[in-house]
Amino acid sequence: MSRLGGSISGRIAAARGTRHDPPRLRLPAVGHHRKPRRVAMLSVHTSPLHQPGTGDAGGMNVYIVELAKRLAAINIEVEVFTRATTGGLPPVVELAPGVLVRHVDAGPYEGLAKEELPAQLCAFTHGVMQAWAGHRPGYYDLVHSHYWLSGHVGWLAAERWGVPLVHAMHTMAKVKNAALAEGDAPEPAARVIGETQIVAAADRLIANTAEEADELVRHYEADPGKVAVVHPGVNLDRFTTGDGRAAARARLGLPQDAVIPLFAGRIQPLKAPDILLRAVAELVDRDPSLRTRLFVPVVGGPSGSGLAKPEGLHKLAAKLGIADLVHFHPPVRQDQLADWFRAASVLVMPSYSESFGLVAIEAQATGTPVLAASVGGLPVAVDDGVTGILVPGHDPVDYARELRRFVDEPGLTDRMGAEAARHAQSFGWDTAASGTADVYTAAMHDHRRRVRSHHG
The annotated binding site for 1D-myo-inositol 3-phosphate is made up of 45, 56-61, 114, 147, 171, 191
Q: Describe the crossing of helices 312-319 and 273-286 by its angle, rounded to 10 degrees.
A: 10
Q: Which residues of 60-81 are buried (b: 16+ CB within 10 A; e: fewer)?
A: bbbbbbbbbbbbbeeebbbbbb
Q: Describe the crossing of helices 396-408 and 412-424 by its angle, rounded to 10 degrees.
A: 110
Q: Give residue 433's identity as a one-letter amino acid code.
A: A
Rounded CA gap, 69 and 73, in Å?
Answer: 6
Contact 230/326 with Cβ under 8 angstroms? Answer: no
Left, alpha or beta for 368 (phi > 0: left; psi -120 to 50: alpha)? beta
Cite the annotated binding site by residue number: 45, 51-52, 56-61, 114, 147, 171, 191, 266, 271, 332, 341-342, 344, 354, 362, 368
Rounded CA gap, 363 and 357, in Å?
Answer: 10
Rounded CA gap, 23 and 230, in Å?
Answer: 9
Half-sphere exposure of 51 (CA within 13 A, CB side): 16
Cite the annotated binding site for UDP-N-acetyl-alpha-D-glucosamine by residue number: 51-52, 59, 266, 271, 332, 354, 362
Rounded CA gap, 124 and 130, in Å?
Answer: 10
Cα-only R_g, the chain: 22
Rounded CA gap, 333 and 10, in Å?
Answer: 40
Contact 16/214 with Cβ under 8 angstroms? Answer: no
Left, alpha or beta for 122 (phi > 0: left; psi -120 to 50: alpha)? alpha
Cite the annotated binding site for Mg(2+) by residue number: 341-342, 344, 368
Q: Cβ of 21: how many Cβ atoms within 10 Å?
A: 11
Rounded CA gap, 50 and 134, in Å?
Answer: 27
- Closest Cα to residue 437, out of 27, 49, 150? 27
Rounded CA gap, 324 and 381, in Å?
Answer: 32
**228 contacts: CB under 8 Å, gap ≥ 6:** 24, 25, 27, 204, 205, 206, 207, 213, 435, 438, 439, 442
DSSP 207-264: ESSHHHHHHHHHHH---GGGEEE----B-TTTSS-TT-HHHHHHHHT--TTSB-EEEE
Cα dihedral sign, 123-124-125-131: positive
